[in-house]
Amino acid sequence: MHTSKRLLDRGDEVVGIDNLNNYYDVELKDARLKQLLQYPNFRFHKVDIASREEILEIFLQDRPDKVIHLAAQAGVRYSLINPQAYIDSNLTGFANVLEGCKTANVDHLIYASSSSVYGNRNNIPFTESDNVDHPVSLYAATKKANELLAHSYSHLYKLTTTGLRYFTVYGPWGRPDMAPWLFTKAILEGKGIKVFNHGKMLRDFTYIDDIVDGTLRVLDKTQAGQQKSNLTGSGFIGVDAPYSIYNVGNNNPVELLTFIQMLEDAVGVKARLELTEMQSGDVVATAANIDKIQRSFGFSPQTTLADGLQKWVTWYKNFYKQ
């Protein structure tokens, strides 16, 4: 929604696709959509990206110049409960988007990868050249698979693709299954919050406006065919692909207990902590090395965690009239 709104505000024509499924509150999704439907230069298709025929029809009908693919079945823990949802959306759906881009001769595909592809690494911060062959969740595995699929289409069809590894996105209109939302809701309701791994976790929380800024910098400054594969010069033969990967993060990871203290300050209420063990599929730390996207596109996050959390809490209280 935030990315679409930024594009619409500057005068771009945007076609949106979403199935508005019930993974979380559909009313929240509808409220987001209403923010966009007021724009005359926005069209919306309520379609599941896993529906091959419908997706291809939209690509051939609307003929987009560029595609920003942010749709996915999100969440690490839910992949332990409903793995098929990740196969349908993140693998089948992503393949359908690639086919649509190829068929409609799209100039550039930007897609959401994830910091989860790095797995449980000892060394931080994470750099794009790090090995990402050891995902610890199905969600992470599907995101790594997206990068591989994109590379194959870049190589075979010279489709310019850019994968953006987002790091722990938060902010207004965010997802109810993520820590900022879960913690804020619990604190305001006087309920305890589960703190996994006894709080011994590190996260690179990145405010939504910075995520959108990084995404649009890549969208605007990358020309078709400009990029070369990360594999070039790395011992591979015959690799010629307009393909690249970038980290998009805050570059300032904090411990989970510090994050909670900052959230308490923003809410104005102390939290009741329920320290518990590490959950399957989680990683101990995420931390982004953003040197590559800074060099290539001048990206630099502008929102501190303290300021971002204050904006988040203000939105939450207003949205739920608390």
In Å, how far are 62, 158, 177 from 103, measured between CA atoms? 12, 12, 35
> Of residues 23, 139, 153, 166, which has the active-site annotation?
139
Known active-site residue 24: no
181 burial type by CB count under 10 A (0-12 exposed, 13-18 middle, 19+ buried):
middle
The alpha-helical segments, DSSP class H, found in the chain are: 2-9, 26-37, 52-62, 83-86, 93-103, 138-157, 179-188, 208-221, 256-267, 291-297, 305-319
| CB distance 241 to 154 below 8 Å | yes
In Å, how far are 36, 195, 232 from 257, measured between CA atoms? 36, 8, 42
Lookup result for tokens 């703190």: 195
The SS3 assignment for 76 reads: coil
Write the DSSP assignment of 86-100 as a string of letters. HIIIIIIHHHHHHHH
Distance CA 49, CA 47 (A): 6
Please identify every residue annotated as catalytic: 139
